[in-house]
Amino acid sequence: MTSERPSVEIKLVSDPMFLAGARELILGLTHRLGFKQDASGQIALAVDEALANVINHGYERQCDQPIWIKIWTTADEDEPGLRIHIEDEAKQIDPDSICGRDLDDVKPGGLGVHIIRQVMDTVVYEKKESCGMRLKMSKRLASDTNADQPEHSHG
Amino acid sequence: MADQADLEITWDSREGATILRPMGDVDLSRSPSLRNDIRKVFENPPEKVIVELSAVSYMDSSGVATLVEAMQLSRKSNAKLVLCCMTERVHSIFEIARLDQVFTISPDVDAALAE
């Protein structure tokens, strides 16, 4: 269920210069949740690839269009981890048409979707109700076999 | 605010090879800088092109795509392309993309020169 308000919600414009900041956000958050460095880096990579796909394909490199990153941390649930939604207002496409290229066909491009599916536990593309697309993905702490217990800050 | 879009890349020549050393994150905002330099190298292709990646802490699929393009240019030019000094984090994306067995990857510049 993702009906509750997200723990983190940020809106950025579709300019590649802001990708580094988004990665830093994900790295910090996943580390805090207890993911090891490798897994944190891979989740940040998945978010980076998702944002890059929106910029490149959804908005066709327009740099002033909105993208939302919504994150639900699920530290207190049966399967602790996080859920991430990437939303845009780009043209809608058939979610079933979103697939990575054949890896045996070595050529530039087409790796982003493959990377996202490799790294995350669940990946679902869907059309938003009004306009744009939504990518829903999740990563369980348990799938990071070397994960620490989540940190709990008290100030 | 300073423009962070350009990737700093140094060039060096050694034993007939051109060595490119990009420094920083190679993502969608910065991979075009690397692509431009790689294309310049292959305008007058040397026998070997080495991309030394010790100072690249992060690379996304746009950076990987740039290096795949470099591999295609090297084949057209009959030049050898060698990647070296990859951090574990950068190497992991090559593994995910199953490109770690497609590229020639060396642990250091001396090994790359010997390839």
B16 in any annotated domain: yes
Tell me: pLDDT of A153 over 70: no
Contact B68, A108 (CB under 8 A): yes
- Contacts within 8 Å (CB) and 24+ apart, B37-41: B37/B9, B37/B11, B38/B66, B38/B69, B38/B70, B38/B73, B39/B73, B41/B11
CB contacts of A41 in chain B (<8 Å) are 89, 92
* pLDDT tens figures, A4-49: 889 999 999 999 999 999 999 999 999 999 999 999 999 999 999 9
B3 in any annotated domain: no
Q: Which of A17, A48, A107 sits opposite B68 (nearest CB)?
A: A107
Give the pLDDT score at A148. Answer: 58
User: What is the domain count for chain A?
Assistant: 1
A41 in any annotated domain: yes
CB-defined contacts A:B, below 8 A: 66
Beta bridge partners of B17: B14, B48
Tell me: pLDDT of A155 over 60: no
User: What is the domain count for chain B?
Assistant: 1
CB contacts of B92 in chain A (<8 Å) are 38, 41-42
Tell me: pLDDT of B6 over 90: no
- Tokens in use for A155? 């100030």
Length of chain B: 115
Q: CA torsion A96→A97→A100→A103, rounded to 10°?
A: 100
State mean pLDDT over B2-27: 88
Residue span of the structural domain in which A30 resides = 8-143
* pLDDT tens figures, A111-120: 999 999 999 9
Interchain pair A52, B27: CB under 8 A: yes
A98 in any annotated domain: yes
Query: DSSP E strands: which ranges in B1-115?
Result: 8-14, 17-23, 48-52, 80-84, 104-106
Contact B19, B46 (CB under 8 A): no
State mean pLDDT over B63-80: 96
Alpha-carbon gap, residue A102 to A55, rounded angstroms = 22
CB contacts of A118 in chain B (<8 Å) are 96
State mean pLDDT over B102-110: 97
Give the pLDDT score at A101. Answer: 77
- Taking only residues 48 to 107 of chain A, the set having a beta carbon closer than 8 angstroms to any beta carbon of chain B reads 48-49, 52, 55-56, 103, 106-107
Check CB contact of A1 with chain B, cutoff 8 Å. no
For residues A149 and B11, the model is more confident at: B11
A28 in any annotated domain: yes
Check CB contact of B31 with chain A, cutoff 8 Å. no
Check CB contact of B39 with chain A, cutoff 8 Å. no
A2 in any annotated domain: no
Interchain pair A106, B102: CB under 8 A: yes
* pLDDT tens figures, A67-86: 999 999 986 667 789 999 99
State mean pLDDT over B64-71: 96
Length of chain A: 155
Check CB contact of B72 with chain A, cutoff 8 Å. yes
CATH of the domain at B81: 3.30.750.24
Tell me the average pLDDT of chain A. 88
A139 in any annotated domain: yes
Which DSSP symbol is given to A150?
P
A47 in any annotated domain: yes
B19 in any annotated domain: yes
Residue span of the structural domain in which B42 resides = 8-114
Give the pLDDT score at A80. Answer: 85
ipTM strictly over 0.85?
Answer: yes
CATH of the domain at A125: 3.30.565.10
B1 in any annotated domain: no
With a CB cutoff of 8 Å and minimum separation 6, the contacts of A3 are: none
Q: Which of B29, B65, B98 sits opposite A16 (nearest CB)?
A: B29
Q: For the residues of B63-94, what is the DSSP string, one character each?
A: HHHHHHHHHHHHHHTT-EEEEE---HHHHHHH
A1 in any annotated domain: no
Query: What is the pLDDT confidence band of residue A154, given thresholds at 50, 70 and 90?
Result: very low
Q: Which of A52, A106, A118 sits opposite B62 (nearest CB)?
A: A52
Report the residue of chain A nearest B29, measured CA to CA.
Answer: A16
